[in-house]
């Protein structure tokens, strides 16, 4: 029969006590750690739940404090050629036969086929300002003004432009080709054209022809409205030259 030493029994009891206390401590430590971790995550969740709406509010307040961009007006300006009363001083009412004239076509140099006004800065350099534009295609504007100019004289009964009516009888038709229609940066205004007057028929024949170049016209180099007005004056000079070529027969 084994007899256990009382001292060993006492030692074992102490060891078991220590183990029990150590286990309780470790268990308590684990519980404390778990509790701290849980509280930390709860805090972090609450922090971010508060932080995100607060950040959104800050961004919204900052956006509201910024000045709104102001709407910018379009700087583009549109210009038209204008007609001129070109009645000849020597004309008297009822003295001349009145002709029916058709402005058949107005052709232009290729560089003029643009909606922008042309400004020549040097001999071989042309500029087309972005914000200065014709209010209608230039060839149509030229034809319109020439027709209105011709209509103002006593010797012209009517002026027509394409499309011509099939039943309309015209005494003469005019073809015009514009080779220059621009302002110079230095202030000169350039306008040049050639023209031909035809007697319509089965075999149209040339009645008269010529070339015209405006002279003495100037602008300030900046005011495009002024340039359009000066080019209109040049068209008046061309129109007078065409009218002067019409036969001056007494009314009968």
Q: How confident is the model at residue 24 (pLDDT cuts 50, 70, 90)?
A: low
Q: Which residue has the higher pLDDT, 90 or 60?
A: 60
Q: What per-residue confidence (pLDDT) applies to 96?
A: 75
| Nearest-angstrom CA–CA distance, 125 and 127 | 7
Encode pLDDT of 191-229 as tens digits: 999 999 999 876 668 999 999 999 999 999 999 999 999
Give how far the C-alpha of residue 178 lies from the chain's centroid of Cα atoms, to the nearest Å.
26
Encode pLDDT of 30-82 as tens digits: 665 566 566 655 545 554 454 556 556 566 566 666 666 666 788 899 999 99
Looking at residues 174-185, what average pLDDT do you find?
A: 97
Q: What per-residue confidence (pLDDT) applies to 166?
A: 87
Encode pLDDT of 109-167 as tens digits: 999 999 999 999 988 999 999 999 999 999 999 999 999 999 999 899 999 999 988 88
The pTM of the full predicted model, rounded to 2 decimals, is 0.70
Q: What per-residue confidence (pLDDT) applies to 198?
A: 93
Collect all residues with Cβ–Cβ distance below 8 Å to 155 and sequence separation of at least 6. Answer: 91, 96, 97, 98, 99, 243, 246, 248
Q: Is residue 11 left, alpha or beta, with left meaning phi > 0 and alpha meaning psi from -120 to 50? A: alpha
Which of the four CATH numbers 3.40.50.261, 3.40.50.10610, 3.40.50.300, 1.20.1300.10 does domain 81-244 have?
3.40.50.10610
Please tell me what DSSP assigns to residue 154: T
**Which helix (H) or strand (E) covers residue 192, if one does?**
strand 189-199
Hey, where are the domains in the chain?
Answer: 1-71, 81-244
Average per-residue pLDDT for the chain: 82
Percentages helix, strand, coil for the chain (3-state, rounded to 5) are: 40, 25, 35
Q: What per-residue confidence (pLDDT) applies to 23?
A: 52
Q: What per-residue confidence (pLDDT) applies to 50?
A: 47
């Amino acid at each position: 029969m084994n007899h256990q030493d009382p001292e060993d029994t006492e030692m074992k009891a102490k060891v078991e006590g220590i183990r029990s206390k150590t286990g309780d401590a470790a268990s308590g430590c684990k519980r404390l750690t778990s509790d701290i971790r849980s509280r930390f995550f709860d805090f972090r969740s609450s922090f971010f739940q508060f932080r995100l709406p607060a950040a959104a509010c800050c961004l919204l307040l900052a956006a509201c404090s910024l000045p709104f961009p102001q709407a910018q007006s379009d700087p583009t300006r549109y210009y038209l050629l204008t007609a001129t009363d070109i009645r000849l001083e020597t004309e008297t009412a009822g003295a001349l036969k009145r002709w029916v004239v058709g402005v058949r076509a107005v052709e232009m140099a290729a560089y003029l086929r643009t909606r922008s006004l042309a400004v020549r800065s040097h001999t071989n350099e042309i500029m087309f300002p972005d914000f200065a534009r014709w209010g209608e295609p230039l060839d149509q504007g030229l034809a319109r003004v020439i027709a209105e100019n011709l209509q103002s004289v006593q010797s012209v009964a009517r002026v027509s432009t394409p499309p011509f009516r099939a039943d309309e009888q015209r005494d003469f038709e005019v073809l015009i080709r514009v080779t220059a229609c621009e302002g110079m940066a230095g202030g000169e205004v350039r306008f040049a054209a050639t023209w031909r007057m035809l007697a319509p028929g089965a075999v149209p024949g040339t009645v008269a022809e010529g070339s015209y170049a405006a002279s003495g016209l100037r602008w300030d180099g900046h005011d495009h409205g002024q340039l359009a007005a000066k080019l209109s004056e040049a068209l008046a000079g061309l129109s007078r030259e065409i009218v002067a070529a019409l036969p001056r027969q007494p009314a009968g």
